[in-house]
Amino acid sequence: MVCTKRDKKYCGLLSLFRGRLIATSLLALSLVPVSTPASADVMDDLFSIFEPSNERETGAEQHPKILAQFGGEYVKEGLNDYILDIGLRLAFVSEMKTLPWRFTILNTPVINAFALLGGYVYITRGLLALANNEAQVAGVLAHEIGHVTARHGAARQSRATGIGLLGTLAGILTGSAVVQELGQQLGGLYVASYSRDQEYEADQLGVKYLGLAGYPREAMADFLKLMQAQTEYTQKLAGNNGNASQFDFFASHPQTEERVGRAAEAAAANSDNLDRENGQARYFKAINGMLYGDDPKEGIIRGREFLHPVLRFKFDAPEGFQLINSSSAVYATDGKGSQMVFDIGKPKNTGLSMTAYMKQEWLVKINPPGIRAIEVGGAPAAVTSVAVEKNGNKLYLTAVAIDFGGDQVARFIYQSTSITQDLQTRIEQSYRSFRPLQADEANEIKPTVIAIETVKSGSKLSALVQGMADAAVDKEALFLLLNPEFKSGTPIAGKEYKSLRYAD
């Protein structure tokens, strides 16, 4: 960037951090197949992430673990520097301007952002795809900077409270030694949610930083409204009516209508009546060509369907469940206390039947009764159901092992706090949907990227929608989620918009 007189101090700070960003950007992407198990030791290390003795040292120690858990850093020419520019502009007007801030784009389609102690701020490429201008991204980063400057990370208890930072099932089966002995891989990050008061404080600080850095203060409330639209969209994909999305920014940042209203009020109260630019043109230029959605190397999600073109399998989550992929497993939840974990295991002893594998290796510590031999898609399989006592409460588990060939076992675990015939039926439909993925179907799955295009004269919304490459369940709904300005009517010639194209 070119430093103006107004930006002189900021640019001096920027130069201090530029070398560190370049070094960070050289990290290779950690694209681990879904079959790779997550280490329990890693999970234990992450559990204490918000109990620091030295904040900067803690952030530095946890940073590589965050990258390992969430697909590594996403690197795109120009984009990483651009996000650093935005972040440092905001950090420079905060109360901790001299902190060695680091801003990292995580290679995940999940929509989220979070911060660690010592000035480590993370934003996902999924969030960048949803945002519509630079000011909205600045609002998210300002909010996270507010959490750091208010030392909310140090104040939070180090405990799992449901869904973790990036929507992975941080709390699933947590705290139950018996359930953990099932051998499934969690792959999520343990973290306590922010309290409502902490969210309000971070919002207020974020609005303040936005204004001081020259951004429109209403950008934070604007992005929170976008998140509401995203939540509604994902609910519809899952067939989940009336339950908040479990895999988004609000999972670790509790959201209420009051919070959105307060952010808007704070912006209005501090308005200086300046006509501040939201930076949409700059932003669109920066994200043009950015990977969108799942990386096919780790599998993709289409509604309730999960497909892995490399490992060559597919299955459906139960109706009403929302899927999320991670580097170690595939997860799903219905937002009502029921969850699913899928991974691929490798037997220690070859030649075992699936019932023997369950008894002798996978479930040996709990020795569940009634393991039944079945077939799934023509492959040998086994299923069992068991109720586990935990603090006087019962967890109902269904475990399924399917012979995937090549000394590999496809494994499902379904957990619920109560069980009904309807849920049992949906669970059975899910694991029985597991199938090998045919070569022609696997070859059709290609990476998708954001493509910034311009409305041509006379173009209709339907034509813009159909021009998208993504095989979305509802293309128009996805288009309007990415381009909310187009909800008002006929597309305006010359207007830029986000479309999707297959990568070269």
Distance CA 313, CA 328 (A): 16
3-state secondary structure 179-222: HHCCCCCCCCCCCCCCCHHHHHHHHHHHHHHHHHCCCCCCHHHH
Q: How far apart are the first and last CA of the chain?
A: 29
- Measured in whole angstroms, the distance separating CA 254 from the mean position of its chain's CA atoms is 15
Q: According to the model, what pLDDT value does residue 175 have?
A: 31
Distance CA 404, CA 159 (A): 36
Would you tell me which CATH number, out of the four given (3.40.30.10, 3.40.50.10490, 3.40.1000.10, 1.10.287.540), belongs to the domain 296-443?
3.40.1000.10
pTM of the model: 0.72
CATH for 448-502 is 3.10.350
Q: According to the model, what pLDDT value does residue 417 have?
A: 86
How are beta strands 339-345 and 408-416 bridged, if at all? antiparallel
Question: Which of these, 198, 41, 193, 213, lies nearest to 141 by C-alpha position?
Answer: 213
Domain ranges of the chain: 8-30+70-156+194-292, 296-443, 448-502
Q: According to the model, what pLDDT value does residue 130 have?
A: 94
Q: According to the model, what pLDDT value does residue 201 have?
A: 84
If residue 268 lies in a helix (H) or strand (E), which one and from where to where? Answer: helix 257-269
What single-letter DSSP state applies at residue 370? -
pLDDT digits (tens, 9 = 90+) for 136-184: 999 999 999 998 888 766 544 333 222 232 233 222 233 333 334 333 3
Q: According to the model, what pLDDT value does residue 21 have?
A: 34
Q: Which residues of the chain have pLDDT under 70?
A: 1-53, 152-194, 237-276, 390-391, 471-473
